[in-house]
A and B are shown apart, each in its own frame.
Chain A
Amino acid sequence: MQQIISALLAIVLGVGVMLFYFYGSNWLLDTLLPDTRGAGGRYVSRQRQRTAIRPWLFVAPALIILTIYLVYPAIQTFFLSFFNRDSTDYIGLSNYRWALGDGEFLQSIGNNLLWLVVVPSASTALGLLIAVLADRVSWGTIAKSLIFMPMAISFVGASVIWKFVYDFRGPDATQIGLLNAVVVGLGGKPQAWITIPFWNNFFLMIILIWIQTGFAMVIFSAALRGVPEETLEAARIDGASEVQIFFRVMVPQIMSTILVVWTTITIVVLKVFDIVLAMTNGQWDTEVLANLMFDWMFRGGGDFGRGSTLAVVIMIAVIPIMIWNIRRFQQEEGLR
Chain B
Amino acid sequence: MNAKIPGLNMTYGRLVTHLSLLLLVILWTLPVLGLFISSLRDKDQLIVSGWWTALRTTERNQFGRTGTADGQFERDGVYVIAGNFFKEGEHKTVKAYSDKQNDISAYRPGETITLADDSRFTLQEDGSYEWVSSEPFDLTRGKRFFFVAKIPPRFALDNYREVLTSEGIGQSFINTFTVTIPATIIPILIAAFAAYAFAWMRFPGRQLLFAVVVGLLVVPLQMSLIPLLRLYNNVGVAFGVAAKSYPGIWLAHTGFGLPLAIYLLRNYIGGLPRDIIESAQLDGASHFNIFTRLILPLSVPALASFAIFQFLWVWNDLLVALVFLGKRADQIVLTSKLRELLGSRGDNWEILTSSAFISIIVPLVVFFALQRYFVRGLLAGSVKGG
Contact = CB atoms under 8 A, between A and B. Distances in A.
Interface string B301-339: 000000000001001111100110000001000010011
Interface string B207-240: 1010111111111111111111111000000000
Which of A59, A133, A277 has the most chain B CB atoms inside 10 A of its CB? Answer: A59
B174 interface: yes
B57 interface: no
Given A61-B194, A260-B383, A314-B222, A164 B330 contact: no
Contacts of B190: 18, 61-62, 65
A14 B183 CA distance: 10
A326 B210 CA distance: 10
Nearest to B289: A26
Contact of B378 (A19, A215, A290): A215
A18 B202 CA distance: 22
B189 interface: yes
A267 B378 CA distance: 15
Interface stretch (A91-99, A108-116, A171-179, A196-204): A171-179
B13 A242 contact: yes
Contacts of A267: 218, 220
A175 B288 CA distance: 64
B24 A156 contact: no
A77 B255 contact: no
Interface string A13-41: 01100110011001000100000000000
Contacts of A15: 185-186, 189
A155 interface: yes
B186 A7 contact: no
B227 A66 contact: no
B159 interface: no
Interface stretch (A117-125, A216-224, A229-237, A244-252): A216-224
A100 interface: no
For chain B, give the interface size range: 35 or more
Contact of A163 (B181, B216, B342): B342
A207 to B, nearest CB: 9
Given A55-B203, A133-B20, A315-B219, A65 B29 contact: no
B168 interface: no
Interface stretch (B80-88, B146-154, B362-370): B362-370
B74 to A, nearest CB: 46
Interface residues of A, number: 116
Question: Dominant SS at the B interface?
Answer: helix
Interface in B351-382: 352-353, 355-356, 359-360, 363-364, 366-368, 371, 375, 378-379, 382
Nearest to B330: A3
B75 interface: no
B24 A147 contact: yes
Contact of B226 (A3, A219, A308): A308
A153 B368 contact: no
Interface stretch (B43-51, B117-125, B127-135): B43-51
Contacts of A270: 220
Which of A19, A161, A165, A274 has the most chain B CB atoms inside 10 A of its CB? Answer: A161
Contact of B215 (A140, A273, A274, A322): A322
B132 to A, nearest CB: 38
A4 B181 CA distance: 9
Contact of B335 (A154, A163, A222, A312): A154
A218 B18 CA distance: 19
Contacts of A54: 201, 287-288
Interface stretch (B63-71, B96-104, B107-115, B243-251): B243-251
B136 interface: no
A165 B31 contact: yes
B367 A151 contact: yes
Given A137-B18, A175-B50, A260-B383, A307 B226 contact: yes
Contacts of B196: 58
A177 B353 CA distance: 13
Contacts of A186: none
B264 to A, nearest CB: 13
B32 interface: yes
Nearest to A328: B384
B209 A176 contact: no
Interface string B282-312: 0000111001000000000000000000001
B4 interface: no
A311 B220 CA distance: 8
A293 B322 CA distance: 13
A146 B356 CA distance: 18
A153 B364 contact: yes
Nearest to B315: A154
B25 interface: yes
A64 B66 CA distance: 76
Contacts of B24: 126, 129-130, 133, 143, 147
Contact of B51 (A56, A176, A321): A176
B171 to A, nearest CB: 9
20 contacts: A7-B177, A7-B179, A7-B246, A14-B250, A23-B288, A58-B201, A70-B216, A73-B227, A74-B223, A137-B21, A149-B32, A160-B352, A174-B48, A219-B382, A219-B383, A267-B218, A274-B335, A311-B223, A312-B223, A318-B219
Across the A-B interface, the 9 shortest Cβ-Cβ residue pairs: A69-B255, A154-B316, A152-B367, A62-B194, A58-B197, A73-B227, A160-B356, A55-B203, A73-B224
Given A73-B231, A152-B363, 16 more contacts: A3-B178, A7-B181, A7-B182, A11-B181, A66-B216, A66-B258, A129-B24, A147-B25, A149-B364, A161-B32, A161-B35, A165-B31, A270-B220, A271-B222, A311-B226, A314-B220
